[in-house]
């Protein structure tokens, strides 16, 4: 059972009599539907529908919810929540004494939360606080994320740069299209109903090790012939994640045009659990 402490993650606890209602009206996930033992993907958006903060949310007791978020965003996340608080009976606390543990394969330990971003067969879980022995490294964890097509901000995209559809949140339950309004809901709902998503997370593979950006601000572009088709994110050896223009990739595939990255021939596929495919022309579809 591989596991590791994610030292770049922090848990923010949102607690209080109004916590459920407060979050339900603010974030993309259906807070009312979160089940014990599950960590659901969620996001807080800009009014224009782009992701400011991506995180996992889970229920903790009767009135509390834990938000598992990048550590370097924790302070800004709390400040943003505070702006929306007004007179709501809700508080925010950083659980700095509870490390974030991620694991996969084998039997999940007692108290673990199933990470709903991953297909069930991957058996990926989260645990906050004390847990089993940690024996995996970050490269192994990144390899699992990449294989399953799970993108995260920082590694794969910048805040305010992508819509939830771009990182497959319309497919993994991170966005609920039946609940009431939340910040950015109008734009995201319109994309869903009109099927206008034009970018998706794809798994990229090559015959040789992929290049890694020399600094976080650098961008390595995927080309379809001589046209930019997307950019590379996380890398694990010969595999990586990319956010790509689905129309350009589909055109390249249909016309036999080689996709390349830094001159390296590459193959792009959409994660199997999404039910999407470049070849079937439904990569932009809102549903089947």
pLDDT given at position 83: 97
In the structure, what pLDDT confidence band is assigned to residue 279 with cuts at 50, 70 and 90? confident
Q: Which of 106-110, 164-168, 256-260 has the lowest mean pLDDT?
A: 106-110
Mean pLDDT of 212-234: 88
pTM, 2 dp? 0.95
- Say which residues have a Cβ less than 8 Å from residue 255's Cβ, sequence separation at least 6: none
pLDDT given at position 131: 86
**CB under 8 A, 24+ apart: contacts of 215-220:** 216/154, 220/261, 220/262
Neighbours of 96 (CB within 10 A): 10
**What are 265's two structure tokens?**
């021939």
**What are 120's two structure tokens?**
């069930």
Residue 115: strand pairing partners: 39
**What are 119's two structure tokens?**
């297909």
Question: Please, what are the domains in the chain?
Answer: 3-167 (3.30.1360.120), 198-274 (2.40.30)
Return d(Cα 283, Cα 157) in angstroms, integer: 19
> 19-34 burial string, b = 16+ CB within 10 Å, else e?
bbebbbbbbbbbbeeb
For residue 241, is pLDDT > 60?
A: yes
- Structure confidence by residue, pLDDT tens digits, 73-109: 999 999 999 999 999 999 999 999 999 999 999 889 9
């Amino acid at each position: 059972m591989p596991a590791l402490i994610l030292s770049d993650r922090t848990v923010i606890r949102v607690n209080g009599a109004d916590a459920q209602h407060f979050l339900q009206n603010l974030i993309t996930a259906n807070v009312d539907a979160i089940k014990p033992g599950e960590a659901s993907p969620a996001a807080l958006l800009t009014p224009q529908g782009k992701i400011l903060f991506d995180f996992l949310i889970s229920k903790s007791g009767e009135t509390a919810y834990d938000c598992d978020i990048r550590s370097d965003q924790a302070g800004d996340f709390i400040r943003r929540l505070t702006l929306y608080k007004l007179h709501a009976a809700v508080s925010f606390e950083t659980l700095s004494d509870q490390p974030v543990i991620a694991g996969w394969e084998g039997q999940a330990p007692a108290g673990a939360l199933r990470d709903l971003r991953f297909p069930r067969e991957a058996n990926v879980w989260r645990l906050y606080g004390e847990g089993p022995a940690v024996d995996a490294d970050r490269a192994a964890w990144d390899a699992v994320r990449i294989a399953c097509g799970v993108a995260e901000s920082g590694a794969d995209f910048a805040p305010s740069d992508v819509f939830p559809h771009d990182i497959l949140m319309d497919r993994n339950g991170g966005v609920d299209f039946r609940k009431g309004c939340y910040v950015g809901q109008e734009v995201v709902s319109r994309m869903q109903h009109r099927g206008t998503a034009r970018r998706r997370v794809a798994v990229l593979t090559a015959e040789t090790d992929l290049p890694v950006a020399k600094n976080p601000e650098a961008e390595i572009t995927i080309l379809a012939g001589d046209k930019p088709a997307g950019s590379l994110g996380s890398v694990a050896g010969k595999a990586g994640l990319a956010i790509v223009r689905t129309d350009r990739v589909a055109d390249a595939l249909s016309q036999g045009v080689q996709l390349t990255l830094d001159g390296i021939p590459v193959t792009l596929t959409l994660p199997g659990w999404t039910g999407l495919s470049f070849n079937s022309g439904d990569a932009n579809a809102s549903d089947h």
